[in-house]
Structure 1
């Protein structure tokens, strides 16, 4: 009888550790904790997340196994630089490469937008709004808004609650917003400011659908945005 009671308890502890790993991994992948940063103390994590020390230790062990952190005995646990991934090489220095990336994103991010619409938190919605506000401010000043653009799409991936989306988007890195890396001669005469303004309108449609928690509208808005981005680039 005692063994029967212990099995659900162990399963619950494992699930809590998995959830904690997901949350900490998201923070690392989104750059909220950078290489060299020290993780909060065990006591702090226990208090912040309402879990036991056993759960925290299991989660830290999993983060170590995934190569995200290392523990220095007597000092603490630190985020470490991730080793370069092997096997996936993305060529975004040509027009063809950019179109290929956009087609990949069409498959990935339409589903991410739909999931984000049903799973996002108010905080995540506010962070998306902030990213678009930054985008618009930079655009108005003729400054590069690539990083704000990338942050908006990463936040949508985070709002899915599925770390796999964040992992893939993070792995894409600068390839996610690759248009400025293409050789100017191959890119042709492109008004980047105009493209930015059009993308801004499409971003707002995506955000509004996520705000309304309408997955079908979010999926459609993201599809339209990425399809238009591909077509605009192909026409340049």
Structure 2
């Protein structure tokens, strides 16, 4: 593995720090479009972290539009659009940061849901269904539910047909992942899985029905409930 990669301090937000190191290698040209990333096992050993952490880092890079993953083959660097947004602080979030994040997410994701209901294609519904199946994972695969949750929201952004939604959601994907992790730490796994599965299912059905108003309302409810799961009370006006 490239010598520029270093082991990660365990006090840092691990997936974000690993994703940042790969992002810098891509931006410097050390990793070029078409290059294959090392295997999960190789990265786990190199960074000194679990494979679960590596999967979350890969999911973040995918959501940021840095890489693509091919089933059974691996992860590959892709050509990035010229207007690429990335935030690099990667720090742990406190309650104030969570509030700031949701104040941005609420109008962004409500509007995305409405547009997705209007412009989605069949493949977007298929991707949502695949993510929904993974969101319900428990036991050894429970952490895949976190990645699947992020993938579900990215699919909605893609379904808008507007790349700016994908770009902005990708830029805050590590923060969104931290809120998902925080909510799962506050509730029993079975409880959070059931609630999130229901909320995402309602979103998916509203988008599939091509009902923008219903989709916006389903996302509004999901955003409000997501905030409450990390002990926030939001004023939602959208």
Do the two structures share a fold, i.e. TM-score over 0.5?
yes
CA deviation string 1:171-206 (max 9, x = no partner) = 112212323665x9xx98543442232111100000
Residue 97 of structure 1: CA displacement? 1.8
Residues 1:176 and 1:27: Cα distance change in structure 2 (over 3 Å):
closer
Of residues 204, 207, 212, the one that matches 2:209 is 212
- Partner residue in 2 for 1:231: 228
**Number of the residue aligned with 2:95:** 95
Distance (whole Å) between structure 2 residues aligned to residue 125 and residue 31 of structure 1: 22
Tell whether the 8 Å contact from 2:93 to 2:175 is kept in structure 1 after alignment: no
Q: Identify if the C-alpha distance between structure 1 residues 220 and 179 changes in structure 2 by more than 3 Å, giving closer, same or farther.
A: same
Offset at 1:91?
Answer: 5.6
Q: Which residue of 2 aligns with 1:11?
A: none
Report if aligned partners of 1:119, 1:160 keep a CA contact under 8 Å in 2. Answer: yes
Unmatched 5+ residue regions in structure 1? 1-25, 40-62, 68-81
Secondary structure, aligned partner of 1:233: coil
- Structure 2 residue runs without a partner (length 5+): 1-61, 70-74, 234-238
Question: Quick check: 1:142–1:193 contact (8 Å CA) kept in 2?
Answer: no
CA RMSD of aligned residues (A): 3.4
Is contact 1:125-1:211 (8 Å) kept?
yes
Is the 2:111–2:216 contact (alpha carbons within 8 Å) kept by the matching residues of 1?
Answer: yes
Provide the C-alpha distance between the structure 2 equivalents of 1:28 and 1:230, rounded to a whole number of angstroms. Answer: 23
Partner residue of 2:40? none
Contact 2:154–2:166 (CA under 8 A) maintained in structure 1: yes
CA contact under 8 A between 1:99 and 1:233: conserved in structure 2? no
Higher helix share: 1
CA separation of 1:205/1:110 partners in 2, compared to 1, >3 Å: closer, same or farther?
Answer: same
8 Å contact kept, 1:119–1:159: yes
- Residues paired across the two proteins, number: 166
Q: Greater CA radius of gyration, 1 or 2? A: 1
Aligned residue for 2:68, secondary structure, equals coil
1:113-149 deviations in Å (ceiling 9; x for gaps): 000000000111111111111112x146661111000
- Secondary structure at the aligned position of 1:148 is classed as helix
**Do 1:110 and 1:219's aligned partners in 2 also have CA atoms closer than 8 Å?**
yes
Give the corresponding residue for 2:120.
120
Aligned pairs for 1:61-76 (under 5 A) are 66=82
Aligned counterpart, 2:130: 130
